[in-house]
Structure formats: C-alpha cells, structure tokens
Structure 1
Amino acid sequence: MVEKRNSERLNDEDVVNALSSETPEISDSDLESKPIPTIIDDLDIQDIPGIGPTTAKKLRDAGVLTVMDLAVTSSEELSVEINSSKESAAAFIIAAQQLLRDSNLLDKEFVTADVALEKRKSLLRCTTGSNALDKLLLGGIETQAITEFYGEFGSGKSQICHTLCVTACQPVENGGFGSGSIYIDTEGTFRPERVDQIAASRGLDPTSVLKSIAVCKVYNSSHLELIIKDLGKYINDFKARLVIIDSIISLHRAEFAGRGTLADRQQRLNSMLHKIIRLAEIYNISVVITNQVQSSPDTFFGDPTKAAGGNVLGHASTYRIYLRKSGENRTARMIDSPYHPYSDTKFTVTEKGADDMEEETSSKRGKLKE
C-alpha cells in the first residue's frame, strides 16, 4: 500500500529545474564518463532533470518507483500524489519520457512513416491457439495494443484468455512471448485447472505454465483502479508481456447503476483505460480485455447486440472482436481495427482451449463450454 505522503510542497529548486526550457549541452567527454543507459534497470528517478532527493522520496512514497512509472502517470494524478502544481507534475512526466527516449526505451516524438513501418514489423505477436483466429488478427495478439473480445456468456472470451496464458509462455519462435502473464480476474472465471488441462493438451509442462501466470482476484472497481495504477510494478516483478483483464467493465457496471452515475462511471473508466494504453506502449506489452454486451432496443434490423462501455471503451481498444455462439462452435468478427479487414472466422473450444474446427471433426469429446 502507498505510505503516508509527505505533505510538504516541492522545493523551489526542484520546480525551477523541472520547468526549465533549456537543455544542458552534453559534451563527448560527458558521454564517455557517463554512458546513456539502455536498460530500464539502469535508470533511476533521480536521473531525471529537476528531481532531487526530496522529490524522489515523495515520488517513491506515492508509489512511483521507476522512470517508467513516472512516464505513464497523468499530471493531474501526480500533482495530488506529491502535493505539487499540475505544471510541476507535467514537467516531471515530460522529463521522464525524454529520458526514456534518450535511452532508446521510448519512441521519439516524431519519426518518418518508413521508420514507423519498420518498427511495427518488429512488434511481437502471440498466437491465440487457433490458426483461424490468428489469421483474423493477422498473426495473433499484438504488443503495444489493447485487444478487446466482447460477446455474451459462453461465447469463448474466457477460454481465449486461458489459452493465451498458456501460449504466451512459449518461446517467440513457437508463437509465444517467452514471458509470464498477468491475469486480472474481476468475474471469478479464472480456473488454474483449465490452464493445467490446456497446457497438458498442447504438450507443455503444466507446472511451468502455471508458475508463469500471476493471478489477481479483484473485488470492486476501486480495487481494479488501484491495481491498474500499480500495474507497471507488477509487470516488472512478474516479467510479464501479456496482461489480461477479464472483464474490464463488470465491476464498474455493477456498482454504477442508473443514469445518475453514468458520467462518473465513464470518467473513471476513461482514466483507467488511458493508463492501460500508456502502459502497453511504454512497457511493450500486449493487453487483452474482455467485455460484456448489451441489447440496443432501437435496432430494428440486424444484430441488436453491442459492446458495453459506450464510446469510452470503444475508443480505447485498438482491436475489437465480437464473439458469437454458432452451434457448438464460435464465430469471431473483426469489428474495429486501424488496418485489419472487416471479416469473420470460426473456431471451436476443446481441451486445448481455443482451437481450429477441423481438428475436432473426428471427435466431439473435447468440446467444452466457457
């Protein structure tokens, strides 16, 4: 938990240094004596211009432990945490981001489109376990992005999430991330037994897979927001490249009932989602969220089912996939994407988790419901 915060205002020296518009020149001798760090562990909060011991202590007391933590924090949130002006907080955040850029840990503010294209080619993708789903996603779940799966109960959302926990720990050359994963469970749907079954069915060591997954059971919306606030620390602690939130909306939807609370709910949801977006980009992780659905009473033709959360959630997701039941199988449709074609595909759920339909034509024993 966050310790009691120091109530003193930032000292004048810290603020002046942070707000200074001039960048000191760096000579060749400076570079030789103090090379620019290229690993996040080499960076310290006090490496940021304008942050001295006093401010560094306030930041650590507020739970901002690393340069990455500071870079993804909003100025409004930080100003409250360390009892400073928004201008000072914004200056510290900008300085942290600049330090990450100088250390080649964050993209430059402006790059040419060809450079951006080359960078995108180097992004990692994790297989969903189904070739059909991977094809829909043009290679799998992408890093530096939020992938949303929404659909009614039993449509396969949690089954995809369980499968991803297994595939993520596989080596990169086998379609995984070669890393751990974090599973934030808001609906009580995570089952380690299911992970064990999927891993064994895919020829992996269930014990190793289970040890690679950090599970957090969340009980209310405030708890979820606190977990997201400290998510950068957990990503580092568990060496995770995949973060799953199943589901993103259920707690806020249950606690903020009625039109009178809608604005407050959406504001809190928006703040949390933007923090997730910044974390995904700066930590180079993949975020997968599941979402519930609601019926639109004014839809007279077509499918009245739409994703919950309104425009706030719709704008936050990089890729949005709609899942539907289709007999014993499932249908996935790409609803929103910056570049994916609007198409759909079918997959099934077996002992191996999310799987291709053709592998189940000879036997229906393995079919499971979500």
Structure 2
Amino acid sequence: MVVLRDGMCPGLEEELLRQLRAADVKTVEDLVSSDIEELARRCSVSYKALFAIRRVLLAQHAAFPVSGADLYQELLSSTAILSTGIPRLDKLLDSGLYTGEITELCGGPGSGKSQVCFSVSVNVSFHLKQSVIYVDTTGGLTAGRMLQMLRTETSSSEQQMEALQRIRIFRAFDVYALLDVLHGLGGGLLQQASIGGGSVKALIVDSVSAVIAPLLGGKQSEGMSLMVQVAGVLKTLAKDFSVAVLVTNHVSRSASGEVQPGLGASWSHIPRTRVLLERADRGPLRRATLTKSSRQPCLLTEELDLQLWTRPESPPSGKRKLPDS
C-alpha cells in the first residue's frame, strides 16, 4: 500500500491530508476506492478538487478498478476539439485535435509539418483565445513567421500582439532539455502559462524525433529509456491537464522502399492519431494520409494547400495567400 503524503500530487497538501486521515483515508487505495462525493462532504473540500487528485493518483500508481461510466463522464467533461485552422486537415482528423490525446504528424523535410504546427498555434491563440505551449527542438520557429501569419487574420497590431502573447515558446535542443521542459510544465509552468492568456489547450513539440532519434540504435541503450520517459510525460500532460498534444516525427524507408514513421515500433503506439504528410504531384500541395486513428477509417487522404490561410467559416473567396515558407 502507498501511504498518502504531502506533495504526492498537485493539491494534496498537509491540511487536506489531516482531514483525510480524520476520515480514515490514509493510503492511495483508501482514497481511490472511496465515494468521492461523500468524502468531499465529510472533509468539507471541493468535490472537483478531490476528484482531480483521485484521477492523478490513479494515473501514477497501480491500476485500480474504474467503472466505464466514470471514464465516459470524465471524457465528456474534459474533451474539447481544436481546429487546426486547415479545414481539409480538420476533416481528416474528425473535426480537429482532441484534448487529452497525442496526435502525430510525420513526414520528410519540406512536407509541411512545421507549417501545420504554426497554423495550429495561430488558430488556437487568435481564434480560440487560448494559450499554446510550443517546444521547438530544431530552431525552426520564429516570432516573425507567427506574426506574418497573424497579419493575414487581422490588421490590428494590438490583436496580433495579444495572440502572440498566448504562444509560449521553449527551446530544447536535446532530449534532456526536452524532459526538463516537460517536467517543468507538469510542475506548474502549464498553469502559469494560462494566467492572463486563456487556459493552455495545445502543447506542440516540433520535432520529437530530432532529439530522440540520434540516441536510438547501436550501443546507445539509454535512448529507448529516454524515449519512454518522453512518451510517459506527454501522455500524462495530455490527460491530466486536458490539452491536445501535437508532435512531429521524421520518416525513413524500409528495405522494400516503403515510407515509415521514425522512432520505430516502440513509439508507434504512443500517438492516438497519426497523419503522414507528403509533397503532392501538383505544385505546392501536400498530401495528408491518415495512417492511425480510433475514429476514422485509416488511409483516408486529403490534399492540403499550406500556402493558403483559410478561416474555417470563410467562403472560398475568403482565402488569403501566405508567402512560401
């Protein structure tokens, strides 16, 4: 049995511990198996806060039975769908990015992965008025590019600056720096980023493979362990904080010449949804293929014109062209 202690998870502080012990709730098992509504009344604490603590403890420790009804109610209360700002991609993703889940974009150089990440950032920060965490591992993100895209949405410099302030950018050029950033987000930075800028709804890591792939293979056995750590923290952040996690990944070719996502089979079960981006045959178009999904049939394909910045509600004549990346 795991004894409840101060600081075990956010919100579990000394005063609450005293109240729980007075109610004969002393271990993790005692708490997760209790009637939370009744326990909240006995301890005179918020049901919502106690329920959140219970959910975190369930995720951190050995699995305890949870009813399907509980899981469904939790899903309904915590899931939101975020538009990517690219209508054809939203269609492929069954309306957009889902909070609580990891979505992956994979593709080769120039396939448009970063452009889609920029689009998600601008759409969430400007149209949804919510905050975005953008972790850049390649140095490819610039505030100038974000501003360029925002200028196609509004001529108001004040609105442009407000949207930019909702995008928090972190640089992490190796896997250890990435883990530091992710652990920091779980330890409080995520809530701090929400202050004055709407709650954080999207966490983008562009690219996750850039810092993990160099450590895989050969004699570098710690690479697999580090990849598992990154995956675990991303899943925890997505679920516990109800954010949509978007990551990018490179591709390689198999011995038969087939395009396959990087990081191997061990990583393949991490994203809930995976989209392959490739250059199409016609000019600047990109071909997006759904290769993994729990909602849509796989191998659905859409052509994306990433040079066009389109509001989802705008008619075709409302499309505006962006300069090439």
Q: Same fold (TM over 0.5)?
A: yes
Distance in 2, Cα, partners of 1:72 & 1:225 = 22
Which runs of 5 or more residues in structure 1 are unaligned? 1-15, 49-65, 75-89, 99-107
Q: For 1:368, what is the secondary structure of its paired residue?
A: coil
| Structure 1 residue aligned with 2:307 | 350
Which aligned pairs between 1:37-186 and structure 2 lie closer than 5 A?
Answer: 37-38=46-47, 40=49, 71=57, 90=61, 109-112=66-69, 116=72, 119-120=75-76, 123-170=79-126, 176=128, 178-186=129-137
Paired with 1:351 and 1:280, the residues of 2 have a C-alpha distance of 29
2:146 paired residue among 195, 203, 206 = 195
Counterpart of 2:45 in structure 1 is 36
**Aligned with 1:194: secondary structure?**
helix
Q: Check whether the contact 2:105–2:247 (CA below 8 A) recurs between aligned residues.
A: yes
- Opposite residue 273 of structure 2, the aligned amino acid is Y
Is 2:284–2:307's contact at 8 Å kept on the other side of the alignment? no
2:149 and 2:322 in contact (8 A); partners too: no
Is contact 1:136-1:344 (8 Å) kept?
yes
Counterpart of 1:101 in structure 2 is none
Match of 1:337 in 2: 293
SS, match of residue 269 in structure 2: helix
Label 1:289 to 1:213 Cα distance change in 2 as closer, same or farther (>3 A). same
Following superposition, the deviation at residue 294 of structure 1 comes to: 1.2
* 2:204 maps to 1:250: no
Deviation at 1:39, TM superposition (A): 5.2
Q: Map Cα deviations across residues 170-196 of structure 1 (whole Å, 9 max, x no partner).
A: 45xxxx3x4201000000011111111
**Identity across the alignment (%):** 19
Q: CA deviation digits over 1:107-142, x for unaligned, max 9?
A: x822249x7289459721111111111111111111
Q: Structure 1 length normalisation: TM-score?
A: 0.67
The answer on 1:237 being equivalent to 2:192 is yes
Equivalent position SS for 1:187: coil
Distance (Å, rounded) in 2 between the aligned partners of 1:362 and 1:194: 18
CA apart distance, 1:68: 9.2
CA distance in structure 2 between the partners assigned to 1:334 and 1:30 by the alignment: 45
Structure 1 residues 367 and 120, CA, compared in 2 at 3 Å: closer, same or farther? farther
- What is the distance in 2 between the residues matched to 1:152 and 1:17? 53
TM-score w.r.t. structure 2 length? 0.76
Equivalent residue of 1:260, what SS? coil
- 2:160 is aligned, of 206, 209, 213, to 206
Code of the residue aligned with 1:324 in structure 2: it is E
1:294 aligns with 2:248: no
Are residue 306 (structure 1) and residue 260 (structure 2) matched?
yes
- TM-aligned CA distance change 1:237 to 1:25, over 3 Å: closer
Query: Contact 2:287/2:303 (CA < 8 Å) preserved in 1?
Result: yes
| Structure number, greater radius of gyration | 1
Does the residue aligned with 1:316 lie in a helix, a strand or coil? coil
- Equivalent positions of 1:9-28 (< 5 A) are 18-19=26-27
Counterpart CA distance in 1 for 2:28 and 2:74 is 34
Deviation at 1:202, TM superposition (A): 1.8
Amino acid at match of 1:194: R
Distance in structure 2 (CA, Å) of the matches to 1:168 and 1:340 = 23
Q: How far off its partner does 1:289 sit?
A: 0.2
Q: What SS is found at the alignment partner of 1:294?
A: strand
Equivalent position SS for 1:317: coil
Distance change (3 Å), C-alpha of 1:28 and 1:340: closer
**Secondary structure in structure 2 of the residue aligned to 1:335:** strand
Is 1:216 matched up with 2:167?
no
Contact 1:72 1:278 in 2 (8 A): no
Matched length: 291
Q: Which amino acid aligns with 1:149?
A: L
Q: Which amino acid aligns with 2:274?
A: R
Instruction: Kindly provide the CA deviation profile for residues 276-306 of structure 1, in whole angstroms up to 9, marking residues without a partner as x.
Output: 112211111100000111121x215xxx221
Which amino acid in the other structure matches residue 184 of structure 1? Answer: V
What is the rounded CA distance, in whole Å, between the counterparts of 1:334 and 1:368 in structure 2? 25
- The one-letter amino acid of 2:135's match is I
